[in-house]
Structure 1
Amino acid sequence: MLGFLFKSQAPAPANEDPGASELALVRMAMDEDYADVEELAHQLGLHIRRPSFCNEIAGCLTYGDGYWSLGVNANATKNRQRFTIAHEIAHYLLHRDLILKDSQVNGVYDNNSYRQPVAALLNSNIEVRHEQQATMLAVRTLMSETKMRRLCDAGMSIFQIADRIGCSVGATKIRLESLGLPLNGH
Structure 2
Amino acid sequence: MARRAEQAAVRLLAEAGEVAPPVNVERLAAHVGVVVSRSSFKDGDVSGMLIRRDGQSPVVGVNDVHSDHRQRFTIAHELGHFLLHPGREVVLDRPVRVNLRDKTSSMATDREEIEANSFAASLLMPADLIRSELQRLSAAVRLDPDRCTRRLAEIFDVSDSAMGFRLINLGLVS
Task: Give TM class, smaller chain.
Answer: 0.7 to 0.9
Mapped partners of 1:113, 1:34: distance in 2: 27
CA offsets per residue over residues 84-138 of structure 1, 9 Å max, x none? 000001111111xx22x6243521111045359xxxxxxxxxx810111111111
CA offsets per residue over residues 29-84 of structure 1, 9 Å max, x none? 66321110001001111111112112110100002352211101010100000000
Q: Secondary structure in 2 aligned to 1:158?
A: helix
**Does residue 102 in structure 1 map to residue 93 in structure 2?**
no
Mapped partners of 1:73, 1:172: distance in 2: 22
* Deviation at residue 166 of structure 1 after TM alignment: 0.6
Unaligned 5+ runs, structure 1: 1-21, 117-126
Mapped partners of 1:92, 1:82: distance in 2: 15
* Deviation at residue 25 of structure 1 after TM alignment: 3.3
AA aligned opposite 1:175? R
TM-score between both structures, scaled by the size of structure 1: 0.71
AA aligned opposite 2:77? H
Mapped partners of 1:112, 1:75: distance in 2: 15
Corresponding residue for 1:69? 59
TM-score between both structures, scaled by the size of structure 2: 0.76
Corresponding residue for 2:6? none
Q: Secondary structure in 2 aligned to 1:106?
A: strand
Of residues 64, 74, 77 in structure 2, which corresponds to 1:84?
A: 74
* Amino-acid identity (%): 30
AA aligned opposite 1:56? D
Corresponding residue for 1:17? none
**Does residue 177 in structure 1 map to residue 168 in structure 2?**
yes
AA aligned opposite 1:38? E
Mapped partners of 2:162, 2:127: distance in 1: 14
Unaligned 5+ runs, structure 2: 1-8, 142-147
The 4+ residue runs of structure 1 with deviation greater than 4 A are none
Of residues 121, 140, 165 in structure 1, which corresponds to 2:156?
A: 165
Which structure shows the higher helix fraction?
Answer: 2
**Does residue 31 in structure 1 map to residue 55 in structure 2?**
no
Q: Secondary structure in 1 aligned to 2:28?
A: helix
How large is the RMSD of aligned CA atoms in angstroms? Answer: 2.5
Mapped partners of 1:182, 1:130: distance in 2: 27
